[in-house]
Structure 1
Amino acid sequence: MLRKIQNQVEKLLANRLLAMSVLFAVLFLVLVYRLFVIQIVQGQSHKEDFTYKVEKTVKTSGTRGNIYDCNGKLLAYNKMVYTVNFQNDSKFKTLAQKNNTSESYEKNKVIYEVIKILEKNKDSFKSDIPIEITGNGTFRFTEKGSKLERFKREAFGIGTDTKGLSKERLKLRQQQLDASAEEVFEYLRNGTMGSPGVGKMFDIDEKYSDKDALKIMSVRYSAYLSRYSQYMKVTFATEVSSKSIAEIEERSNELTGIDVSTKSIRVYKKSEAMSHVIGYTGTINTEELEDYNKGKKESDKDYYAMDDAVGKSGIEKELESYLHGSSGSQTMIVNNIGKIVKTTKTEKAGTGNNVVLSIDSDLQEYAYNLLERRITGIVLSKLTTSDSKGDRSDIRIPIKDVYYSLIGNSIVDITDLNGEHATSYEKSMYKKIQRLKKDSIKTIENNLTDSKKAYKDESEEKQNYATYVYKMLSKKKVLLTGSIDTKDKTYLKWKDEKIGLGEFLRYAINKEWIDISMLDISSKYTDTDKIFEALVSYIGDQLEKDDEFDLTVCEQKIGTGELSGKDVCLLLYEQGGLSKKKDASTYQSLKNGSLDAYSFIRQKLSAREITPAQLGLDPCSGSIVITDPDTGKVKAMVSYPGYDSNKLSNGIDSDYYRQLANSTATPLYNQVLNHRTAPGSTFKPLSAITALNESTITTGSQIQCTGVFDKISPEAHCWIYPNGKHGYNNVAGALEVSCNCFFYEVGYDLGMTGGSYSSKKGLEALKKYATKIGLNKKSGIELSEMAPHISDETSVRSAIGQGTNSFTPSQISNYVTTLSNKGTVYDLSILDKVTTSGGKTVKKYGVKKKSKLTLNDDSYWDAVWSGMRRVVSGKKGAVTSIFKGLNVKVAGKTGTAQEDKKRPNHALFISFGPYEDPEITVTAVIPYGYTSSNAAAAAKDVYKYYFANDKEKAKLKKDKKVISAAGSVSD
């Protein structure tokens, strides 16, 4: 029996199939056991180990180098502050599952809670979204041009390559690029107008108001820009108060994805005065990131990360490669959903190099304030209660223009009169302006429908309304300007102001220049009258919701007196531009009527509590450049108005930036390097050098001025004509009295060849010496600069600085630097050196000598110098009275340049001193500054300060009073 069983077992074991089955059974049991151990016994441990997936290396920003002036005074540096950051945390998914919501819902909820904490403690947070909501509840962009297009491309994910896209996708892409501020807002809120597959974007619940949704959106958008590196934190609030920090940390368990850290931010001293020299920094954008990282590896020390700060303008931008600190890194373990689990390695970031300028910041600051005081004096001298601007000989500034400029330049913000924090007075003004707006729309509708008057016969108010409507219809492509036959007789009548807008639009409908698909018309077979009626209705609807039209209404109603100066001035107090508390007496006097608005404006201008920069009226800008004649180093480069770099760095203050960007005073524009103008009579020393060295005249040549130069047609006049004539003068005397006729003759004689006059030959001679003296090139200053233009029209008028001569103040300064050292041409420079943080010199910016203008006889220089000295000290000198009493001898030349017959002349003055051995040159230019004496007076004050002792300088710095305008000078 036993043997039988043994045989059976041997047979079974000999069966291969059975053997395999047993093996698989055993293996299966082992697998089940291991799964039990892994999932049940060691489940928690392996759950934690599962997150250890990917190793990532993240760049950490280096510390930016400092910027110093020539005396070692710190102008730009870094400060450590608390920041609040947001990160896409994995816990949001868990919370969403737990609460049966969405991840977006949980993120939006947390962000909103933090925003409420910040706002409660009066902390601000930055926004990368250039959209704002006005007090009227309408949306508008705070950027325009290429910056706005870049934002839309980033928001909608639009690339530049259109290859292979369907017609539908191309159409959608164009709609996205043309999207209004409200449409972009709705897209970011819930995905409307998004490309296929984009989803609901930030899916911000309707329970949040539009203003709160925009705040939440700004944080989500910052994170969205870093969506491919979700382990990266985004900073949305800097310089956060200890109160906010304490509350956020106390509630850290419920504020998922939020943390507090420290960060280095950029701080600027003497910000406004130095703004155009130093510039400011900001977070790198996608284009800059691509540009800076071109050809670099992510492991490189100079590789830029998405949250790095870079220079946006000025020296901060131009010397970015030196100032930018080398990157450090953190190597970390990131889980499958992008959360940082563990940091394994840290490499410390480096410090950027320091930059030392040639600029003396004390001199710069004094000159900046001086320029403002001088320009304010000019404005005060031209203010009038009359509505008339006067004639060409004496252009005035109507006070009503001042009232409107406060609104037009957003010093008084009418877009927020109905905002949540508006005062009762602001809300009453909102109602008044809206009532006036409705009246204006009714006027426009009635005028379009009923008026038979020509445009030129309408009131100024109705003309301005018609112009606004025409531009609005063109912008919205309702009026198809590209389809208009510009030779059409009716169109030409409209352009010549011989018919009204209503008549033209009726005609445009018949000519199919109106896109009727934009109008509310039920049938395509509607007649002209019905279409015109729909067009008028469309115009009314569009104007009703157009915030920009509110500005036009205010301007016109200030003109008619329906909106008073008192109304506007009181808003300065209501909106915090002026303090009710500090200025209680003046406020009450204005409010009760014992102080009229005109006197109020004069009072505030005199105290510089309202500035020319804020008004943006002529004049409102200017420049002063001070150089060392022996080196070409710039000691001061003042562009007025400036801006507060601290409000643009570390996250832009959107309200402040909008005010800057829209200001008619153009504070973001560098006057020194970009405002080109004819040099006027400051060009005459060069004409004299040209004629002397070409032997057209000698130092003793006498040329008669009769007041009229009739060798050309039309004849040219001297500035003294018809009130007199200069008689006979040599070159020095002609420079002293700035005789036009003398230099007309010079320009004419330079063109003489074989007994006949050739303007081309004269221009070639002037260009030859303009080139030799350095006026053919940019100044050399290490910032972006407009190129010069030497005149190529009429040598006679070009010889007095007119023609098509066009130079920036920096180039004119370079020219006078060459005059002052008798012929050495430099590239000007605002830089001294670059050093390491330890003080070791990395790069030295030495003297940049370009060429040497050598004259045939040194007496030619003496003659020109003598004439320039007599301008400021001679009996007939144009500005002798201004420089009287100055303790240093100065040589100079006045100049005026006409650009627009309806606006004042530009005022220019070039100079150097001391006369015997020049230490500095001073160039002052005041666009629309009326007379060159105003520029000369500013230069005189610079010399007074520069050559004063320390005690006198301290006293001069303390003087904040407005300086009266100088007397009129013609040259």
Structure 2
Amino acid sequence: MLRKIYEKAEKLLANRLLALIILIVVLYCVLIGRVFVLQIVEGQSHKNDFTYKVQKTVKTSGTRGNIYDVNGKLLAYNKLVYTVNFQNDNAFQTLAAKNGTSESYEKNKVIYKVIKILERNGDSFINEIPIEYTGSGKFRFTETGSKLKKFKRDVFGIGNSTDLSKSEKELRDKQLNATAEQVFEYLRNGTLGSAGTGKMFDIDKSYSKKDALKIMSVRYSAFLSRYSQYMKVTIANEINNRSIAEIKERSSELPGIDIDTKSIRVYNKSEAMSHVIGYTGTVNTDELETYNKGKKEEDKDYYSSDETVGKAGVEKQFENYLHGDSGSKTLVVNNVGKIIDTTKTVKSGTGNNITLSIDSELQEYVYNLLEKKIAGIVLSKLTSSDSAGNDRENIMIPIKKVYYSFIGNSVIDLENLNGDKATSYEKKMYRKIQTLEDQAINVSKNLVLKDTKAYKDQSEEKQAYASYVYSLLSSKKVLISSSIDTTDKTYQKWKNEKISLSEFLRYAVNKEWIDISSLNISSKYNDTEEIMKALAAYVEDALVDADDFDMTVCEQSIMKGKLSGREVCLLLYEQGVLKKKGDSDYTALKSGSLNSYDFIRRKLKSLQITPGQIGMDPCSGSVVITDSKTGKVKALVSYPGYDSNRLSNGTDSGYYRQLANSASTPLYNQALKHKTAPGSTFKPVSALAGLNEKVITTSTVINCTGLYDKITPPAKCWKYPDRHGARTVSTAIEASCNYFFYEVGYRLGDKSGSYSSKEGLKYLEKYATQLGLNKQSGIELDESSPQVSDETSVRSAIGQGRNSFTPSQIANYVTTLSNSGTVYDLSIMDKITDDNGKTVKKYGVKKVRQLHYDTTYWNAVHTGMRGVVSGKDSSVSSIFQGMKVKLAGKTGTAQENKKRPNHALFISYGPYEKPEITTTVVIPFGYTSSNAAATAKDIYEYYFANDKTKKTLEKNNKSVTETSVGTAGD
């Protein structure tokens, strides 16, 4: 029996197929058993431990290099702070699936929690989105111009494609012209988006508009780096210990959020140095494209989307040197996007350090001095009268215009008078302004519907509202400007102010210049009266929604006394522009014992209110100080400046909006960008041109009769109807005699025997070019291009015509004058060094050419310029009496606008015998060159003073003396 069983088994085993089947069955049973153990017995344990591991390499930013002044004083450096970061990773997908919500919903919930933690602990979050929600319940942009346009392009994903359908073009136009509220709604839920946009950030309606905007600002930062899934976005800088503790404690409910350290940029002497140093900010898409052109992602100098880059000044111009090489981290990330390990770290680098030729102590003193001098001019021109007067050389500043300037320049923010943090007084003023606005809207409706009085016969208030309505209808394309026949008699009457707004608009309706499709009219057939009623209703709604109509209302209300100066001035305290604590003027103003006119004068004298805030002529200026022997710039001052610390590390949107809206243009570099006619500072060019071309000699005498009649119309000397009499080139420079240099310009054009203005201009351009005036200065920052006049050689010879130069270019030219013919490219740079102190690049003297003019020609010009400072025929010599250092200079007064004061210029160098420095002062609309000369005089006193005297001068630089405006003769 056993033998039979054995034989059968042996036979079966000999069958290979059967053996294979048995083996498979055994293995299958083992597999089933193992699966049972893994899923049933050990399932929960494995579920808890399961990780789907992915490696991802992310960039880490390098450390930015420092910036120093010529004496090694630190101007820009990095400070290590704690930050809150948001990571747009996969963690939210898991939460959404678990909770039955959307990924956006979970992101928004976490971000909102973090924002509330930060606010509760006194910290703020970074807001990169240029939209704010005001206390009056309106959205508004905080940027303007090209920056705003670029923001809209980025938000809506608008490229440069021209191959668009009609509907796509219409949508693109709507997107580019979208209001702040429309952009907000697009980012909130996708409204106005292109096909496939989706719901964008899908911020739930349960969040208020204000909270939704906060969430949106964080989401927008992540949106900009959306192609880098594991890239962290910094949402708050320099947070305090309370925020750190709470966020760490609640980390389990805050996925995607972590605490880290980061270097932020800090600036010393920020305001005085702002236009030289500039500021930093997060890189934008255009900058990314520029900096990464031709680079690969693994390159050390590759920029990531959250990189900090220079936005202005040296920070921008020398970005490639200051930027530290990136490092990297190789991360292990699990299936929910959580970083569970770092397997490799490549240390980031440190950028190069920059040393400037600027003396920051001198720079700061000159900045404060310039502010003080401009404030003195403003004080001398303030008047309690409502009229500025008709004398162009003595235009006054009505105090009511000053009151309004605080509103017009956004020093007082009307829109936030009703904000969450508004005081009871602010809310009271908000209600009053709303009442005034309602009244103004009713007046405006009446101007549209039935007012028949001609525009020129209306009050200034009604003229202002009529003009506003006309501009509003044109900008909204309700009044179709392109359809208007500008030769039409009725239109001409309107332009000449001979008919009322209502009469013009009725006529425009009949001529079909009004697009009635924009109006709320139900029938296709309407008479003029129905259309006018609809137009008035449209105007009413548009004025309610208009962002700036309340400013027009306030301006007119202040001028009419409906809104008092006292009420406006008290708002300066309520909005934190001035501090109540310890200020006796506040108590006196509030009680009425101090009137608002005297209040403004006091605050201007103490510089608690500045010309930059007022923004009325004059409110800006520049000073350039150079080394005569090298062309190195010792001070490059542009007033007003700005606080770079408030623009770096996440823009202070309210502050930026105030800067952008200010009439004093604090974001504009006056020294490098503001072009002006040089006025009489150009006369040394004409003198050297005349001498070298032999049309005059150093002893040539020209008799000034006051009226130069060789050209038509005749040209007047500034002395007219008086005269200067007989003048040589040196005494003509001293007295700044226009007649003498008119004749030089004429003779230059008459060298061939027949006068040609074109020929004269050719010679003026030749010598302006030789002297270094007809080129950019060489300063290593962005600068406007110069222009030598190309019309009328006679008037161009005194610096008028179309001559137009920046202060930096004028400074380059006076440097050439000071050293008798060595032309430099100016420079603000000393050296660039690496982190170990090794010199990477040294900026030496940049000599362009040496002019070999006859020494007697140079001496004639120097003698004349010395006479400007010390001669009896100079209009400014009295200013320099008592100076221990001998100086030489030249005044300049340039007219730009007959309704505004002249520009004030003064060029100079000293000491006279062996010049060390040159000083160029330009005060736009500064009335007369004596104001610029007085500023230069104080600069020289400080520069050549000992340390003890400098301390005294710095102390005295904080109070203002009313300027006594001198002779406007040159």
- TM bracket (short chain): over 0.9
Residue deviations 1:207-227 (CA, integer Å, cap 9, x gap): 221111111111122122222
Shift of 1:33: 3.7
Give the superposition deviation at 1:94: 4.1
Tell me by how many angstroms 1:340 deviates: 2.5
Which residue of structure 2 aligns with residue 261 of structure 1? 260
Structure 1 residue 46: deviation in Å? 6.0
* Aligned residue number for residue 585 of structure 2: 586
SS of 2:631's equivalent in the other structure is coil
Output aligned runs, 1:826-845, within 5 Å: 826-845=824-843
Give 2:755's aligned amino acid: Y
Counterpart position of 1:792? 790
Q: Which amino acid aligns with 2:554?
A: C
2:102 paired residue number: 102
Q: How does 1:233-244 map to 2 (within 5 A)?
A: 233-244=232-243
The alpha-carbon deviation at position 812 of structure 1 amounts to 0.4
How much does 1:700 deviate? 0.6
Output the TM-score relative to the length of structure 1.
0.96
Which of 922, 925, 928 lines up with 1:925 in the alignment? 922
Aligned partner of 1:403: which letter?
Y
> 1:70-469 maps to which residues of 2 (within 5 A)?
70-88=70-88, 90-163=90-163, 166-336=165-335, 338-391=337-390, 392-469=392-469
- 2-side partners of 1:156 and 1:805: how far apart? 44
* 8 Å contact from structure 1 (residues 303, 327) kept in 2: yes
Q: Deviations over 1:651-670 (max 9, x none)?
A: 00001000000000000000
Code of the residue aligned with 1:468 in structure 2: it is Y
State the distance in 2 between where 1:336 and 1:667 align.
51
Structure 2 residue matching 1:310: 3-state secondary structure: strand
Instruction: Give the CA deviation at 1:14.
Output: 9.9
Distance 1:709 1:119 in 2: 71
Q: Distance in 2 between matches of 1:947 and 1:401?
A: 40
CA distance in 2, matches of 1:673, 1:289: 26
- In structure 2, do the counterparts of structure 1 residues 928 and 139 end up closer, same or farther at CA, with 3 Å as the change threshold? same
Aligned-pair CA distance for 1:145: 2.5
Question: What CA distance in whole angstroms lies between the structure 1 residues aligned with 2:348 and 2:908?
Answer: 48
Q: Alpha-carbon deviations, 1:765-802, whole Å to 9, x = none?
A: 11111111111110000000000000000010001000
Amino acid at match of 2:775: K
Q: Deviations over 1:134-172 (max 9, x none)?
A: 111011111122222222232233333354x55444433
Q: Check conservation: 1:621, 1:665, Cα contact below 8 A.
A: yes
2:89 and 2:759 mapped to 1: Cα distance?
A: 75
Q: Which residue of 1 aligns with 2:870?
A: 873
What TM-score results when the alignment is normalised by the length of structure 2? 0.96
Cα distance in 2, alignment partners of residues 264 and 36 from structure 1: 54
- Deviation at residue 173 of structure 1 after TM alignment: 3.4
Q: Where does 1:400-799 land on structure 2 (aligned, <5 Å)?
A: 400-583=400-583, 585-722=584-721, 724-799=722-797
Q: Single out whichever of 282-291 and 167-176 deviates more from structure 2.
A: 167-176
> Relative to 1, partners in 2 of residues 1:691 and 1:106: Cα closer, same or farther, differing over 3 Å?
same
Q: What's the CA shift for 1:45?
A: 7.2
2:47 paired with 1:62: no
The Cα shift of 1:175 comes to 2.6
2:931 is the counterpart of 1:934: yes
Indicate if the aligned counterparts of 2:448 and 2:532 stay in contact, CA closer than 8 A.
no
CA distance in 1, matches of 2:78, 2:6: 92
Contact 1:229 1:338 in 2 (8 A): no
The CA deviation string for residues 67-117 of structure 1, in whole angstroms up to 9 with x for no partner, is 000000000000011111122354434444444433333322222222222
Is the Cα contact below 8 Å between 2:400 and 2:558 reproduced in 1? yes
Report the equivalent of 1:900: 897
Higher alpha-carbon deviation: 179-188 or 149-158: 149-158
- Residue 948 of structure 1: SS of its match in structure 2? coil
Per mean C-alpha deviation after superposition, the further-off stretch among 219-228 and 345-354 is 219-228
Cα 1:229–1:46 shift into 2, 3 Å: farther
Quote the Cα distance in structure 1 between the aligned partners of 2:118 and 2:334: 31
Aligned letter for 1:402?
V
User: Helix, strand or coil for the counterpart of 2:394?
Assistant: coil
Task: Give RMSD over aligned pairs.
Answer: 2.1
* CA distance 1:23–1:162, shift in 2 (3 Å): farther
Superposition deviation, residue 815 in structure 1 = 0.6
AA at the equivalent of 1:883: F
Q: Distance in 2 between matches of 1:522 and 1:11?
A: 101
Deviation of the 1:906 alpha carbon: 0.1
SS in 2 for 1:757: coil
Provide the C-alpha distance between the structure 2 equivalents of 1:113 and 1:270, rounded to a whole number of angstroms.
37
Output the CA distance in 2 between the equivalents of 1:492 and 1:34. 96
Asked if the contact 1:780–1:829 (Cα under 8 Å) also holds between the matched residues in 2, the reply is: yes
* 1-structure distance, mates of 2:172, 2:54: 36
Q: Measure, in 2, the Cα distance between the counterparts of 1:749 and 1:689.
A: 13
Amino acid at match of 1:951: K
- Determine whether 1:944 maps to 2:948: no
Secondary structure of the 2:251 match is coil
Deviation at 1:4, TM superposition (A): 9.8
Report the alpha carbon displacement of residue 961 of structure 1 after superposing the two structures with TM.
Answer: 1.2
Match of 1:700, SS state, is coil
- Could you tell me whether the CA contact under 8 Å between 2:66 and 2:77 is conserved in 1? yes
What amino acid is aligned across from residue 546 of structure 2 in structure 1?
A: D
Q: Which moved more, 1:949-958 or 1:199-208?
A: 199-208
What does the per-residue CA deviation read over 1:610-664, in whole Å, with 9 as the maximum and x for residues that have no partner?
Answer: 0000010000000000000111000000000000000000000001000000000
Find the aligned partners of 1:498 and 1:886 in 2 and give their Cα distance.
59
CA distance in 2, matches of 1:470, 1:25: 92
Task: After superposition, give the CA deviation of every residue in 1:689-722 in whole Å (9 maximum; x if it has no partner).
Answer: 1101111011111100111001100001110112
How many residues get paired? 967
Shift of 1:336: 4.6
Distance 1:741 1:230 in 2: 73
Q: State the one-letter code of the partner of 2:897.
A: D
Gap runs ≥5 in structure 1: none
- Cα distance, 1:740 vs structure 2: 0.6
Instruction: Tell me if the contact between 1:933 and 1:966 (Cα under 8 Å) persists in the aligned partners.
Output: no
Q: Distance in 2 between matches of 1:89 and 1:753?
A: 78
Determine the C-alpha separation between the residues in 1 that align with 2:742 and 2:168: 64
Distance 2:256 2:440 in 1: 51
Where structure 2 has 5 or more consecutive residues not aligned to the other structure, the ranges are: none
Query: Within 2, Cα distance between the matches of 1:754 and 1:279?
Result: 51
User: Secondary structure of 1:57's match?
Assistant: strand
Deviates more, 1:693-702 or 1:231-240: 231-240
The 3-state SS of whatever aligns with 1:127 is coil
Bigger drift between 145-154 and 587-596 goes to: 145-154
What's the CA shift for 1:735? 0.7
Identity of aligned residues (%): 70
Q: Secondary structure at the match of 1:368?
A: helix
CA contact (8 A) 2:275 2:669 kept: yes
Q: For 1:393, what is the secondary structure of its paired residue?
A: helix
8 Å CA contact retained: 1:231, 1:334: no
2: CA distance, partners of 1:780 / 1:116: 50
Cα distance in 2, alignment partners of residues 91 and 308 from structure 1? 24
Alpha-carbon separation, structure 2, partners of 1:567 and 1:621: 27
Q: Which deviates the most, 107-116 or 182-191?
A: 107-116
Distance 1:334 1:295 in 2: 30
Instruction: Determine the C-alpha separation between the residues in 1 that align with 2:752 and 2:505.
Output: 61
Aligned-partner Cα distance in 1 for 2:39–2:284: 47
